Structure 1
């Protein structure tokens, strides 16, 4: 994409279409993304020019790779639709792997869940749409993708913990709690990984760091759940050893 489209607005149009493959993206939505609340009078005509460039780009890619010509970008009320093979579309493949991995996690098949979720995360290459300047519609979608990656990372680490791989995830969890100091679910897993590895004092220190963050920055106290985990660790309650608290993460 970077080698073919250099202007920011056509790249934004392509991003909008790629995020909704197989679904028509309205002309109104594309204009809003490109010009927000101040579209020029020529907005519709300019958008049609961008669509024409994209169609030429797709035809050029097909010819360069000796592929049969086909209509990839079609006009479809109320706007335009991108027709792509889901197997070749990273977002579609990612969502499929996540759905399968999440289902296996719920079923207790932790090894297969871990493997599928790892494959899903392996499709990421840095920040989503880092070469696109997001407007009012793309920005929340990008935030949603980032949130999804964090959630999938949590699920994959949960599977690792349930498999007994407490040592293996400690460093990753340490990085995550540094990046997301107010995220209770990540903090719970960090505490559990440390505790299950025999590092009680480090697990308790992680709790105290979390309590300090939420108290000083948010003016709140830790939730009963994470306070209960701290107490379970102090008293060596079987709840901490059994990872039962993950059922509520």
Structure 2
């Protein structure tokens, strides 16, 4: 039933066809009684929602499928996350970098561990989880860029090291970490980060770091002036 709830939440205020739900619940190999079982699950979920303090959230049924209807943006973390990231994009375009960074940080604090961690295991839910993780990662990168543009490089270093423990092949994170270390006066450590990645890529995949990182490494060796200026576009790397 947690998979059913997750699927409806991911598609809040949009109908989900029974066939898609059945495929998610039984990984494409449903029993003959799947349609009846789904009706039972929906009935039980309706009862739980009605007993919970869920505002005006209800599950409706029509020819298109089942819909989790909620009239409040704050009812689901995902809708709050999307609202905050859209708002951050708006204020960033208006030149309000500090507010954009604050909004992105607030949106990321809504996360607690991996996406859909307790309902993974089927192809459908794994695909949704990957999609959500990619959205979070895009927000992480945008926040890093804004924080660096605000001169907050020292505060990012510890966070970047932790993220790289979780994502050791995420090359953009290495670029942000190298810049943060360089601007913090830790040039040898900056170069060591690059060489550690280069060695890992060579041993594991037989390849070199991406062009962006190679150019950044060259810029660090040459101590190019743009590296010292927080407002320099990171595309210079």
Same fold (TM over 0.5): yes
Equivalent in 171, 180, 198 of residue 211 of structure 1: 198
Specify which of 24, 29, 40 is matched with residue 15 of structure 2.
24
Q: Which residue of 2 aligns with 1:82?
A: 68
Separation in structure 2 between the aligned mates of residue 236 and residue 108 of structure 1, nearest angstrom: 29
Q: Of residues 5, 11, 25 in structure 2, which corresponds to 1:34?
A: 25
Q: How many residues are aligned here? A: 235
Q: Is the 8 A contact 2:119 2:125 kept in 1?
A: no
Cα deviation for residue 32 of structure 1 reads 0.4
SS in structure 2 at match of 1:169: helix
TM-score by length of 2: 0.91
Give yes or no for contact 1:12–1:134 (8 Å, CA) kept in 2: no
- Normalised to the residue count of structure 1, the TM-score between the two structures is 0.87
Q: Which of these residues, 135, 155, 166, is aligned with residue 122 of structure 2?
A: 135
What are structure 1's unaligned runs of at least 5 residues? 1-9
**What does residue range 55-94 of structure 1 map to in structure 2 within 5 Å?**
55-62=46-53, 72-84=58-70, 85-94=72-81
Choose 235-244 or 95-104, whichever is displaced more: 235-244
Q: How does 1:1-249 map to 2 (within 5 A)?
A: 10-62=1-53, 72-84=58-70, 85-242=72-229, 244=232, 246-247=234-235
Change (3 A) 1:106 1:217: farther
Moved segments of 4+, more than 4 Å: none
Asked if the contact 1:158–1:246 (Cα under 8 Å) also holds between the matched residues in 2, the reply is yes
- The more displaced of 124-133 and 45-54 is 124-133
Task: State the Cα deviation string for residues 69-106 of structure 1 (Å, max 9, x = none).
Answer: x6710003321000012222210110111122234335
Cα distance in 2 for residues equivalent to 1:207 and 1:93: 36
